[in-house]
Amino acid sequence: MDIIPVCSICSLRIRMEYSRMRDIIKWFWSYYREYPYVLAVMIFLTPVQAAIQVTIPRMMEFTVDFVKNREVSGNAAAVWLDNIGQQLGLSSAATFTLTLVALGLVASILYAYVQGHRAWMNLRLEWLFRQKAFNGITDKGPDFFNRFRTGDLVTRMTDDVAEKLSWFACSGIFRFYEALLMVTFALAMMISIDPKLTLWTAGPLPLLILIFFKSASVLDKRYDYLQKRISKFNDVIEACFSGVRVVKAYTREKAQKQKFSRAAEERRKAEISAIKVHTIVESLYMYIWQFGIIIVLLAGGYMVINSNLSLGKLIAFIYYVVYMIFPMFDIGQFLVKSRQSTVSIKRLMELEKVKPMVCDNGTKTIKSDIKGDLSLENVTFSFPESNRKIIDNISLDIKAGSTVALVGRVGSGKSWLVNLLPRLADPSGGTIRLDGYDLRQFNLADLRRNIGYVPQEPALFSDTIRNNIIFGRDDITDPIVEWAVEVSQLKDEVATFPDGLDTAIGTRGVAISGGQK
């Protein structure tokens, strides 16, 4: 039996973690680069703030030793600072006190400044995540929406972005960055005071590293499962509410309640399962490190009693260990949240990787003198990654001004043949021509702008009647809207609504009849 050395396993996991973190930073970088000034503030001022913060315990050391011994300690920094104070006409006590106040004030101002930029960046990145995801989704083809249900997409756009990514994207990463700096600077200061006591104090570190490696895969699995349960939960809600008329008509309320209850219970169990591991890991990172305080008090106190360590240095040591408690908590929180965020990033990248069914590479525009002759030459269509042909080798010539009716059995491809004309999808084989030009040669927006398309199932939005008629076009004036209402014989119907054209009709037109839709 082959035996794999433990160090090889650790090395492999470190490489895997490095690769994972590199992918995360690369994904975030595409958003960070939009705001270089804010990024520069957080990158360059955080070390300055951390460096000033860790000098405060050394000043406490100098002050305590001065008060206890009635003289400045032999530390070169203390002597240099005292000399500057004397040149300014200040006593040693005043010099150390004013320096402590100044350092605390500067550190507080820098911390508030950096924190403000973090908070702003969190909100801005959340907006960018949502905007990019939404813009990408609207460019996808019908196959995309067959693969991802509405509830799942809503979960990815809300829970994955707002709950899992918005805080981690900036504050999570840069609090980790700050925590690493604080731990590094504090350890450097502790080593400069007493290397042996530092070694004793840092005893819990290997245990914390081991906890991270042991918990990483468990966190990944539980967060992935949790996000899938949340998506399923939202799917159930969306399906029930969007089809509430059918549910009512067939008295399926009880079945829907049971289905919702099962989805809610699955989500509850997944939430509890993830929170258990989350809480354990964060607690271990925060509280194991506090054993360092006990070590400092015991070992450091013994050294002070035996005159091997000054009281000021012991106090500075205690400050540094306390300083590192919350950074260690931030590191633990980062390691937990990074697993959670990795799952959410993968779910967003999964949406990004689905290629649109139609590429807008055409440059030709439709001119006013267009005739409108359509020609279908050996047109075949099937969904990507599917061998089933929905349309198989259709050839057809339609002259401008003529009327054509497509007749066939259910599922024979009539709707999809029509969908190919505004390029909701492109043929898998063959060509569709307009006045002799391949449809793919035309600019997509211009082509669709010149096609009147009425789907067999009306799709209405939760808005007013007027806005549903205009449908996002700013160039439509009120006279044109009124003309459209009159032509479609809706004038008398609209007059019966309380607010006329400004009446809200609810999601999918739930407040109006099928004929009115």
Determine the pLDDT at residue 8: 56
| Residue among 449, 446, 420 nearest 433 (CA) | 420
Asked whether residue 5 carries a pLDDT value surpassing 60, the answer given is no
Task: Tally the C-alpha atoms within 13 A of residue 65's C-alpha that lie toward its C-beta.
Answer: 23
The region that residue 374 occupies, defined by phi over 0 for left and psi between -120 and 50 for alpha, beta otherwise, is beta
Q: What percentage of the chain carries pLDDT values higher than 90?
A: 7
Q: Identify whether residues 428 and 473 lie together within a single domain.
A: no
- pLDDT for 226-275, tens place per residue? 888 888 888 888 778 777 777 777 778 888 888 889 988 998 999 898 88
Whether residue 56 contacts residue 103, with contact meaning beta carbons closer than 8 Å, is answered with: yes
What CATH number is associated with residue 193? 1.20.1560.10
- The answer on 69 and 181 residing in a single domain is yes
- Same domain for 152 and 39, yes or no, is yes
Least confident of 18-22, 443-447, 498-502: 18-22
Distance from C-alpha of 59 to C-alpha of 255, rounded to nearest angstrom: 70
Q: How confident is the model at residue 3 (pLDDT cuts 50, 70, 90)?
A: very low
Alpha carbons within 13 A on the beta-carbon side of 217: 5
Q: For residue 487, what are the domain limits?
A: 465-509
CATH number of the domain residue 395 falls in: 3.40.50.300
Residue 423 has what pLDDT? 86
Q: Are residues 86 and 138 in the same domain?
A: yes
One domain for residues 308 and 442: no
Residue 1's pLDDT band (cuts 50, 70, 90): very low
377: β partners: 431
d(Cα 185, Cα 50) in Å, to the nearest integer?
A: 8
Q: CA 5: distance to chain centroid?
A: 38
- Of 307, 324, 353, the residue that ends a domain is 353
What does the pLDDT read at residue 41?
Answer: 93
Please indicate, yes or no, if residue 84 is contained in any of the structural domains.
Answer: yes
Give alpha helix (H) positions in 194-204: 195-201
Last residue of some domain: 303, 324, 353? 353
Domain-embedded: residue 291: yes
Give how many domains the chain has, as a whole number: 3
Model confidence pLDDT, tens digit, residues 171-208: 888 988 998 999 889 889 888 888 888 888 777 777 77
Average pLDDT of the segment spanning 19-41: 83
Radius of gyration of the chain (CA): 33
Quick check: is 277 in a domain? yes
Does residue 457 lie in a domain region?
A: no
Examine residue 307 and state whether it is found in any structural domain, yes or no.
Answer: yes
For residue 508, name the pLDDT band (cuts at 50, 70, 90).
low
DSSP 464-500: BHHHHHHTT-TT--HHHHHHHHHHTT-HHHHHTSTTG
C-alpha 510/C-alpha 319 separation (Å) is 64
Q: Is residue 367 part of a domain?
A: no
Q: Which residue has the higher pLDDT, 50 or 343?
A: 50
Burial class (CB in 10 A: 0-12, 13-18, 19+), 178: buried
**Structure-derived torsion over alpha carbons of residues 124, 130, 132, 134, reported in degrees to the nearest 10:** -150
**Same-domain check for residues 277 and 141:** yes
Do 257 and 390 reside in the same domain of the chain? no
Paired tokens of 177: 């960055």
Q: What pLDDT score was predicted for residue 4?
A: 46
pLDDT in tens, 276-319: 887 887 777 767 767 777 777 788 788 888 878 788 888 888 88
* 295 and 147 share one domain: yes
Buried b (16+ CB within 10 A) or exposed e, 269-285: ebeebbeebbeebbebb
Residues 316 and 431 in one domain: no
Q: Is residue 369 part of a domain?
A: no
Is residue 410 helix, strand or coil? coil
Judge whether 342 and 24 are in contact, CB under 8 Å: yes
Residue whose token pair is 């009115």: 516
Query: Does one domain contain both 313 and 438?
Result: no
Residues 99-114 have pLDDT tens digits of 888 998 999 999 999 9
* Residue listed under structure tokens 């006409």: 89
Same domain, 175 and 200: yes
375 - beta bridge partners?
Answer: 397, 433
Residue 171 domain-assigned? Answer: yes
Q: Average pLDDT, stretch 369-381? A: 85
User: CA–CA separation, 300 vs 194, rounded Å?
Assistant: 10
d(CA 179, CA 195): 21
The pLDDT of residue 340 is 78
How many residues are given for the chain? 517
> Do 45 and 187 fall within a single domain?
yes
CB-CB contact of 301 with 314 (8 Å): yes
